[in-house]
């Protein structure tokens, strides 16, 4: 099979760094297992009735975080937005990680994935973590989720956190919301965060067949059933114009965005969502780092309990966050 670099036009390939990384046999087995079990489940989920989706939302929220990495965990309201908080947000002298979770806009934060990862990252930067429990589709359509994320960022500013000590990140649907939030912050005239870390963001919501990796990787991707995701667009975006850059950040004006560390896998359908966005952000003068890691699944930094290679990427993420928090 051709390498991702060979499949991409030269200007695209030059915009990113492909990380060389040996993938263990254990990880290859779990990738196969995800493809056999999780991908069909995701396909059935997005085609389910609203009532069944609600039952799955409840079941997922009932789970517990397996490792809080030494930080206290509470579910509370910050400003006007509820969510999970690691640490003590009254201590504004420490940095805070505002993480916008993924889940196809229809699932809440997964305790075994999102909560565990945010606890790990927050502990390593010596700060706090906040995962807004933004409103979910299909009951709440765009822009409800983005409105909640905007309120969450403003709440941290109102608490007294300097923007230079706030890191914003998100995975998958949360990566989409992260890039939408940056546009909202600029529109409001608020200070930008120290840096941002979008992981496997969905940046194009109007087309299932493009960007190109959505067709090239549709069989290889071990998690995302790309054809079924058309239903996600319907549930989340409804009749909203998908060319709106707050919904499809690929079309955003990126001027004034903070330093950005984009991450994706060469084994996922959303690979080119990151690559094309990275090109536009870099052209707009954004201090950009974009890396494509091999073989691992969509939003792979979440799966620390499954893939040993995730330790390395989390170390990279923490180092990046520390660099810009310290510089600020």
Please give the residue range of the domain that contains residue 45: 4-327
**Per this entry, what is the length of the chain?**
328
Picking from 147, 156, 219, the residue whose alpha carbon sits closest to that of residue 187 is 147
Average pLDDT, the chain: 93
- Report whether the peptide linkage leading into residue 81 is cis, meaning its omega lies within 30 degrees of zero: no
pTM confidence score: 0.94
Residue 70 phi, psi (nearest 5) = 80, 5
pLDDT, tens digit, 9 for 90 and up, residues 7-29: 444 444 456 899 989 999 999 99
Picking from 68, 88, 66, 69, the residue whose alpha carbon sits closest to that of residue 78 is 88
- Please give the tally of structural domains in the chain: 1
CATH of residue 269: 3.40.50.1820
- Supply the angle between the helices 230-237 and 39-46 in degrees, to the nearest 10: 40
pLDDT, tens digit, 9 for 90 and up, residues 140-161: 999 999 999 999 999 999 999 9
């Amino acid at each position: 099979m051709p390498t991702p670099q060979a499949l991409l036009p030269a200007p695209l390939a030059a915009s990113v760094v492909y990380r060389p990384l040996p993938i263990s046999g254990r990880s290859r087995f779990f990738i196969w297992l995800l493809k056999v079990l999780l991908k069909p489940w995701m396909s059935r989920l997005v085609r389910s009735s609203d009532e069944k989706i609600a039952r799955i939302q409840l079941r997922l929220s009932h789970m517990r975080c397996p490792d809080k990495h030494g930080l206290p965990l509470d579910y509370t309201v910050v400003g006007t937005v509820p969510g999970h908080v690691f640490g003590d947000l009254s201590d504004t002298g420490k940095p805070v990680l505002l993480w916008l979770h993924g889940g196809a806009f229809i699932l809440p934060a997964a305790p075994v994935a999102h909560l565990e990862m945010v606890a790990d990252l927050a502990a390593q930067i010596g700060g706090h973590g906040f995962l807004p429990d933004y409103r979910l589709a299909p009951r709440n359509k765009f822009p409800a989720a983005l409105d909640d994320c905007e309120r969450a960022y403003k709440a941290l500013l109102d608490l007294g956190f300097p923007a230079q000590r706030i890191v914003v990140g998100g995975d998958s649907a949360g990566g989409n919301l992260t890039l939408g939030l940056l546009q909202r912050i600029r529109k409001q005239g608020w200070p930008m965060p120290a840096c941002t870390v979008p992981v496997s963001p969905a940046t194009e919501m109007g087309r299932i067949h493009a960007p190109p990796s959505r067709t090239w990787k549709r069989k290889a991707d071990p998690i995302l059933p790309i054809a079924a995701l058309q239903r996600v667009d319907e549930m989340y975006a409804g009749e909203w114009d998908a060319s709106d850059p707050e919904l499809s950040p690929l079309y955003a004006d990126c001027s004034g965005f903070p330093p950005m560390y984009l991450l994706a896998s060469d084994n996922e359908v959303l690979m080119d969502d990151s690559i094309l966005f990275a090109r536009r952000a870099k052209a707009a003068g954004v201090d950009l780092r974009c890396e494509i890691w091999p073989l691992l699944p969509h939003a792979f930094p979440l799966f620390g309990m499954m893939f040993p290679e995730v330790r390395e990427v989390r170390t990279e993420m923490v180092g990046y966050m520390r660099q810009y928090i310290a510089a600020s």
